[in-house]
Amino acid sequence: MSWVEQPAWLLHRRPYRETSLLIDLLTPEEGRIAAVVKGVRGTGRVARQKQAWLQPAQPLQARWRARATQGLVSLRQLEPRGQGTFLQGEALLCLLYTNELLVRVLPEGAPVPEVFSAYEALVERLAGVVSRDDLAWALRRFEGVLVAALGVNPIFATDALERPLDAAARYRWDPEQGWLLAADGVSGCCLMAFAAQEPLPACLKEWKRMLRMLLAPWLGNRPLRAQQLWQATKTEK
Amino acid sequence: MQTPLLAELIDALRVLPGVGQKTAQRMAFHLLQHDRQDGLVLAETLQRALRGIRHCTRCRNFAEETLCPICASSKRDASQICVVETPADVDAIESAGVYQGQYFVLMGHLSPIDGIGPDELGLDALAKRLAEGDVSELILALNPSVEGEATAWYIQNMAREHGVKVSRLAQGVPFGAELEYLDQQTLAQAFQARQQA
């Protein structure tokens, strides 16, 4: 019987039966996995320690028995992999957004090493952000890696007719054809800047629209609740 | 072979947390064999409680009238509101006997991934209470988790809008605990929040 051991990040947890949790983990080689962790919701020392580890932004190391088919895995071992990152305020909300996004769009069991690395970098960046622009850029970079991992390859150089992108024109994304000219689309200049990974503050809103277009086939008509929470926060202010 | 009613009773008892098939069966046999009278009292009390207990319109805790006993009491300080996640948290704080203010019970915490936002937590009702202008301090007694932290941050912003002071319960080493057995987060927070002796 072989074992799988992977570094992991907790995306979501919910109570299961009396003392267990059902969790979603992000791992590099096994992608998103759904797992059950037993003996977590008690008042004993071991349970309390596990509760403290099982938090988003806490790097983990997980071990479970290899399985032939997809489905719930029962974790045999779970321990912290270094110090957790303490996020607050808007940075924390961004992490909750990212976790919801990953649970919604990542299929179970497909290897996503580049998403895993980008997630690690994102957590680190969120801890160090000083402005909303920093937050937005950190999220857009992560989303860029995610859409590539989902198999979308928006070449930020040519349009659907294989003409070079025009910095002065506007484009919308068509999953079948590619970038099509559209008056209400995203600026060509910003598309090219995204490819060059240039964090231009003037392009942040454009990139947000662009990534929503790219992720739309996975999200459908059901909006992410973290986005609504973000909007509610701004209304509150 | 179980009679249909017995099977139904066993099945019904399984809604209780921690009660599986075996325990439900033991409970049902106990009531039927040894304790029919108490069983009837239990059934009647369950009916009355489930029909008669609702949520306090002011703090959302369980209540039998429009207001719960705490909100209705003139002895409680209405200028302080302690925000907690569950009615069990109210009980825990009440039994500690150190707080004389009122409460607001969220019945959960913000969790976008589970579809729980400000509306589900009744935060509009809390905002209304803050807007009334009688509250001077909001004490956040939320569970120390990432979701609890997000909820606290949201409520903090809301209170700031209304010019209400916000405080949070201290986090650190539990009384009687041994440092070597504490998890890293708790120890790190305890260090960050250390006080001058």
Q: In the predicted model, is pLDDT for residue A26 greater than 70?
A: yes
Mean pLDDT over the full length of chain A: 90
Domains plus CATH for chain B? 4-52 (1.10.8.420), 62-196 (3.40.1360.10)
Give chain B's largest Cα–Cα span: 69
Q: How far is B192 from chain A (nearest CA, A)?
A: 12
The answer to whether the Cβ–Cβ distance between A229 and B113 falls below 8 Å is no
d(CA A146, CA A133) in angstroms, rounded, equals 20
Q: What is the pLDDT of residues A79-135, one digit of tens each?
A: 999 888 888 889 999 999 999 999 999 999 899 999 999 999 999 999 998 899 999
- Give CA–CA dist B171/B187, Å, rounded: 9
pLDDT, residue A236, reads 55
Tokens representing A205 are: 């809103």
B146·A92 Cβ contact <8 A = yes
DSSP-derived 3-state class of residue A87: coil
Looking at the domain covering A89-236, what would its CATH class be?
A: mainly alpha
d(CA B19, CA A18): 9
ipTM of the complex: 0.85
CB A65 within 8 A of CB A201: no
Q: Which residues of chain B approach chain A closer than 8 Å at the C-beta?
A: 17-18, 110-118, 145-147, 149-150, 153-154, 157-158, 161, 181, 183-186, 188-189
CATH pick for A3-80 out of 2.60.120.620, 1.10.1370.30, 2.40.50.140, 2.40.110.10: 2.40.50.140
| Cα B125 to Cα B119: distance, rounded to the nearest angstrom | 9
- Judged by a CB distance cut-off of 8 A, whether residue A181 touches chain B is no
Separation in Å, CA of B128 to nearest CA in chain A: 13
Quote the pTM value.
0.87
> Dmax of chain A from CA atoms?
65
Task: Give the β-pairing of A73-80 and A60-65.
Answer: antiparallel
Is residue B104 scored above 60 in pLDDT? yes
Tell me the pLDDT tens digit for each residue of B24-56.
999 999 999 998 999 999 999 999 999 999 999
Interatomic CA distance for residues B71 and A210, integer angstroms? 50
Helix (H, G, I), strand (E, B) or coil at A31: strand
Task: Please report, for residues A17, A39, B159, the alpha-carbon distance to residue B18 in angstroms, rounded to integers and kept in the order given.
Answer: 7, 13, 39
